[in-house]
Structure 1
C-alpha cells in the first residue's frame, strides 16, 4: 500500500503534465480586460511568452480591484521608518488615489504607454506609488537603488532611455544622510541620454535645490495633478526592467512582463507563503532588488494583503530588536528576509535578549532567501522563533521561488542546507559538463528545463541575443542558473553556491559552500566566507574569512587552528584549507550577497573595480589588509603555502 499523493505532489504533477491548463486556472484569479489567445506562446521558442493576446493592468489587479471588492478601508501599506521616527498606514482607497494622481503627474509631463521611467528613490511609500503609477498608464519603470554611484546610474539611464526620472532629495542610512540630487545631477551630466524631467520628493531631513526647467517638486505636482484611470496593456508588454551586473560591464536589463508576472506572484502568496487576504506580509528587503519588487510591491497587494515598507536595518535602528518590534507592532504574519540579516542579529544578540522583550507570537513563518542559508543560522533562528523557518531559492531572473517548502500545499520535513523541493511549474535538473543528467547526490550545474513558467524573465531589455547566449546556449533546452548543487534521494535540492564558487585544488573540484558550512557550525562564528585564491602549485587554495559573534574574545591564531581542523574533519584533508582570517565584517552588496569574486581578485592581485552594489566600501580595505598578513595580493600565480 502506498501513501496517497500530497497536495504538493498533485500540484507539481499537474504543472508538469499540462502547464497551460495549470497556469490558465491560476490566471482566472485576476481581472482580464481581454482574454488571452494563447496561454503558452511557443512560436518564437526559445523566446516563450505567456498569455499572449490577453490584456490586463497590474495596478488595477493590485489596487483598484480590491477597492471595488470592498477592501478600500483595509491597510495596503504600512510605512515604518525608525531612521526618521515616522510611521504611516495607507489604505487601499488612499493608495488608489495617490497612485492615480502620481500617474496624472507622469501623464502631464509627457509619459505615455511604453515610455520608460527611472526611479532613483529610498525606502518610502512614494517609491511604491511611483512604480504603480507607471504600471497604471503602461509605462515601464526601472528602479535603481537610491545611492548608486553616478556612473552606474548613467549606464542604466543610457540603456533604458527614460523620459522621466523620479527621485528624492536624499536617502537615510543608519548613521548618515545620503544626498541623492548631486549623484543624479552627475549621472545626468555624463549620460548621453537626457530625460526631459526629474520629479523630486523633498525630504524634510535634507532638502535640495531644483534645476530650473527640468526638475519638478513632487508634492506640488501631486496637489494639482488629475487622477487617471488604469490603461489595459498586453500581458506580454513589459512592466519593469531590473538591472543586474553583467560580466561585460554592460548591465543586464532583466525584463518582467505584466500578465505572467501577476499570475505567478499571486499564486505564490497562497501556495508558497500560505497567506490570506488581510494578512500582514513583510519582505525586509529594498526597492531595486528582485525581492523588493516581487514581495514588497507587487505580490502582497495582488493577494489583498498588507505590505510593510521598512526604512531601517536588522541591527542599529536602533538595536538588534528592531525586527521583533516591527513584527509585534504591526501583527506581521510572515517575514521574508535574507540570511545575512539573521546572521547580523545573531552576531549582536546571540542569546536572544532583545528578542525576549517582544511578543512575536503572531508570526507564522520566517522565509529566507537571497543567499545560501547555512545550517547553523537555520538552527539558531528555529530555536529562537519556535516557528517554521523556510529556506527558499530563486533569482532576480526568475522573479519568484524556484525551490521552496510550499507551506500552502504541503509542509515537508526540513533538511538544513536545502530549500526543499522545486516549486510547481519548475523542472530542475543537475547536469554534468557534457549536459548529461547526474544521479542523486552528485553535484553539478543546476538548470531549469524550458519553457520557464510565467513570471520569469522572457528576455533581456532590447537584447534577445544576449539573453539566449547568457542563459540558454550552454545547455540547449535548459535555462542555466549559474549555480551548482545536487538533488538528494528524496528530491530535495541543495544549492552549494555559484558555479564560479567551485574551486580546483590539486585537480579536485571542491565547493566553497561545503567549507563555509563547516566554518559556520563553530559556536563562535557569526558568518563566514571561503574564497579560492590562485596557487602556483595546486591551482587554487581556499582561504576562510570569519566574523565572530558579539562578545567573543579569542586568540585569532587559536581560533584559526580550530577552524582549520573543523574543515578537515567535516570536508576532508582534500579541502586543503590552512588559513582562516578573522575580520570585523564581510563585504556585501546592499541585498546581502557576499562579494566573493571581488575578494578573490584582491587576493590574486588582479585588477578589480569597486562593485556599484557594495554596502560598505571600507570592508574591502579590511579584507585587503587581512590578505596582506598572509602574503596575498602579491600578483598572479603567487603561491600561498604548501
Structure 2
C-alpha cells in the first residue's frame, strides 16, 4: 500500500492508494474519507461537514461548502501555471479538421460566452437548454452556464421537436443554445427548424436563442426573429467572472433516455459532483494533469458530461471531442487514427463501438497502420462488455481492458477496476468491484440478501455517495417512488446480477430481462454471453417471447461479422447447442434469426424491450434516442412472425 501526504486548510491527512482500505474507509468513516477527497477541489468556503442527512431519504453533500465548478475546471489551472497546456482537442472526422484550445484560451471563451448569456438575462439558478452537435461550443456553453451559477440541461442534438419541447417545458429555460445542425456520415441534420417547432410546442417562443452557425446548413439564425448569432455576440461580449454557489446547488439536469410522458430529469449538484469526478479521474482512470483522455461518446449523455467535459478538466488533463463514428468515417481504423494523432492515454467507449469495429475489421488489420503506443487503458461502459469482445480488444490492443458499470443517475462508476489504486485482477464479464461510497447488495424480491453466485436485484444502500443524483427536477416524490420504494433503505438500480466468491459483480441485464420459462427464472444476458462466444457472431440480443404453454420462451437475434459465410441452418444448430451446453435444456432455446442490425440508442444500448413488444404484438414506442429508426422497420417483419401478432408503432 502506498500513501500520499497532503495538506488542505491546515488539515494534514493521509490518502490511501489501496482499494480495500479506501472502500472500507468510505463506508465506515465517510465524513473523513469524503472531506479528504474534497481537498482536491478549490473552494471559496471549504466544507467542514461531508453529509447532511436531515432530509433523508434525500441527502446533501458538503452542505456548508461554496465553490464554482467552472472555476475548478478552468481558471484554477491557469492560476497554477498550466494556461498554455491543451485543455480541449476538437477532432472532426466529418469535416477533416482539428482544433486545439489551451486552458487559457478555453477559459477566455467560456468567460465571454458566460457574458453573452448574462446579457440575455441568465443568472444564478436559471436554466439553459443546450441542443448541440459534437463541437467545442457545446462544452463552452456548458461551462459558461456553470460559470454563472446557472443550471444547464443538454439535449442530444437531433432529438425530435416533441422530445425537445418536453424538456424545455419541464426545465423552463431562460435561454436556449443551439447550432445550425449536426453532421452524420450520410446526411446533415438541420437543427433550427426543430428548435423553432419545439419552442412553439412548449409555449416558449419568446425564449432567447443563441445559434452557432455552421457552413452547409440552409436555415440561418437570422431567419428567426430575436435569435442571436454566437460569433456576433462573442465579438463584443464582456467576460463574466465565476459566480459562487452552494455545493448543494444544482449544476445540471439530464433527462434519462427513452423518456415517455413527463420527463425524468436527473439533478446533479455542484460540490458532490466536483469532488466525486476529481476522485475518479485520479483513482479509477489514473489520469492527472497533462494526460490525454478521449471519451468517445456525446455531450448529450451522462458519459459526455462526466468524462468529456467536467472530469478531465477538473483533473487538469486534456479532453478530446470527436465528431465522427467508430466505422464509416472513413473506416474501422478511425479510433486508432485519433489515438495516434492526439497521443491518447485513456480511451473510454461503449462496447457497441468495439463490436462495430470488430464486425468491419475482425482481425484489426487497419490497426497495423497506426501507432497507438500512447494508449495505457481502454475503459468500456454503456452496455455489458461481452467476454468475446473483451478478449478481442485485449488481444489487439495489448493494454488493460476495463469494463465498468454505472448509470445516468449515478453519474460515475458504481463498480470498476480502479487503475489509479493498487492493481486488481480483471475478470472477463465483470465490471469488478464497488467503488467507494457504493454499498452494493444483491437481494431477492423480498429484499433479503442472496448467497454469492445467486442472481438477484442489484441495490445500493442509502445514502449514495457524492456525485450521484440528488433528486429529479421539481419532483422529490417521483424520485423517491421511482428509485427508493422498491427496497426499503436502498436505491434500486433496476439491474440484476450476482457477485462471485471474490466480491466481483456480474451484471446480467435489466430486471425486466429476466424471463420465466416454465417456472424457471433465466437471464437473457447469460444466454447472450454464450451466443457471443461463437466466432461468427458480431453481436446478439436475446428476448423473451410470450408462450401459451411455458409463459415465455427465449428468441435470439444475431448479427454476423463481416466476411463470414456460414449457412444459417448450421449456425442456428451451433448456437442452440452452445446454449444447451452452457445454460441447459431448461432454457428451451430453439429460435435464432440472423439480422442485418440490432436497434440501438445513440449511446449503444440495444432496445430489447422494444424488440420484445414488437414480437409480442404489443403497441410499442420507438424511443427518441434511437440511432437508426430504419432498423426497427427492417426487424418488424422478422419479429412479428415469431409471435404471430401484428403490433403497432407509436413514434414520438
Match of 2:6 in 1: none
Q: Which of 81, 89, 92 matches 1:78?
A: 89
Segment of structure 1 superposing worse, 331-340 or 562-571? 562-571
Counterpart mapping for 1:484-633 below 5 A: 484-630=496-642, 632-633=644-645
Q: 1:246 to 1:178 in 2, by over 3 A?
A: closer
Local SS of the residue matching 1:434: coil
Match of 2:63 in 1: 52
Q: Distance in 1 between matches of 2:367 and 2:245?
A: 46
Q: Which of 105, 115, 118 matches 1:94?
A: 105
**Which consecutive unaligned segments of at least 5 residues does structure 1 have?**
637-642
The alpha-carbon deviation at position 622 of structure 1 amounts to 1.5
- Report if aligned partners of 2:616, 2:640 keep a CA contact under 8 Å in 1: no
Q: Distance in 2 between matches of 1:420 and 1:410?
A: 14
Please state if 1:348 is matched with 2:343.
Answer: no
Local SS of the residue matching 2:428: coil
Segment of structure 1 superposing worse, 402-411 or 298-307? 402-411
Please state if 1:131 is matched with 2:131.
Answer: no
Q: Which of 63, 88, 99 matches 2:74?
A: 63
The alpha-carbon deviation at position 36 of structure 1 amounts to 2.3
- Report if aligned partners of 1:163, 1:195 keep a CA contact under 8 Å in 2: no
Match of 1:302 in 2: 314
Please state if 1:147 is matched with 2:158.
Answer: yes
**Which consecutive unaligned segments of at least 5 residues does structure 2 have?**
1-15
Q: 1:107 to 1:635 in 2, by over 3 A?
A: closer
> Size of the alignment, in residue pairs?
632
The alpha-carbon deviation at position 20 of structure 1 amounts to 1.0
- Report if aligned partners of 1:246, 1:252 keep a CA contact under 8 Å in 2: no
Q: Distance in 1 between matches of 2:506 and 2:146?
A: 36
Large movers: runs of 4+ above 6 Å: none
Local SS of the residue matching 1:419: coil
Instruction: Write out per-residue CA displacement over residues 272-316 of structure 1, whole angstroms, 9 at most, x where no aligned residue.
Output: 011121000000000110100000000000000000000000000
The alpha-carbon deviation at position 46 of structure 1 amounts to 0.7
Instruction: Write out per-residue CA displacement over residues 485-542 of structure 1, whole angstroms, 9 at most, x where no aligned residue.
Output: 0111001011000001101111111100100001100000000000111111111111
Local SS of the residue matching 2:562: coil
Counterpart mapping for 1:233-632 below 5 A: 233-245=245-257, 249-630=261-642, 632=644
The alpha-carbon deviation at position 212 of structure 1 amounts to 4.3
TM value normalised by structure 2 = 0.95
The alpha-carbon deviation at position 86 of structure 1 amounts to 1.3
Q: Distance in 2 between matches of 1:228 and 1:126?
A: 17
Q: Distance in 1 between matches of 2:164 and 2:643?
A: 36
Q: Distance in 1 between matches of 2:465 and 2:218?
A: 45
- Report if aligned partners of 2:386, 2:529 keep a CA contact under 8 Å in 1: yes
Q: 1:247 to 1:94 in 2, by over 3 A?
A: closer
The alpha-carbon deviation at position 6 of structure 1 amounts to 8.0
Q: Which of 20, 31, 34 matches 1:23?
A: 34
Q: Distance in 2 between matches of 1:132 and 1:494?
A: 36
Segment of structure 1 superposing worse, 338-347 or 548-557? 548-557
Local SS of the residue matching 2:81: helix
- Report if aligned partners of 1:138, 1:233 keep a CA contact under 8 Å in 2: yes
- Report if aligned partners of 2:116, 2:233 keep a CA contact under 8 Å in 1: yes
Instruction: Write out per-residue CA displacement over residues 330-353 of structure 1, whole angstroms, 9 at most, x where no aligned residue.
Output: 000000000000000000000111
Q: Which of 179, 193, 202 matches 2:204?
A: 193
The alpha-carbon deviation at position 246 of structure 1 amounts to 6.7
- Report if aligned partners of 2:196, 2:205 keep a CA contact under 8 Å in 1: no
Q: Distance in 2 between matches of 1:517 and 1:411?
A: 26
Q: CA-atom RMSD, angstroms?
A: 1.3
Q: Distance in 1 between matches of 2:464 and 2:377?
A: 28
Counterpart mapping for 1:151-170 below 5 A: 151-170=162-181
The alpha-carbon deviation at position 163 of structure 1 amounts to 1.1
Local SS of the residue matching 2:365: coil
- Report if aligned partners of 1:60, 1:230 keep a CA contact under 8 Å in 2: yes
Q: Distance in 2 between matches of 1:635 and 1:547?
A: 24
- Report if aligned partners of 2:362, 2:562 keep a CA contact under 8 Å in 1: yes
Q: Distance in 1 between matches of 2:401 and 2:259?
A: 34
Q: Distance in 2 between matches of 1:246 and 1:252?
A: 10
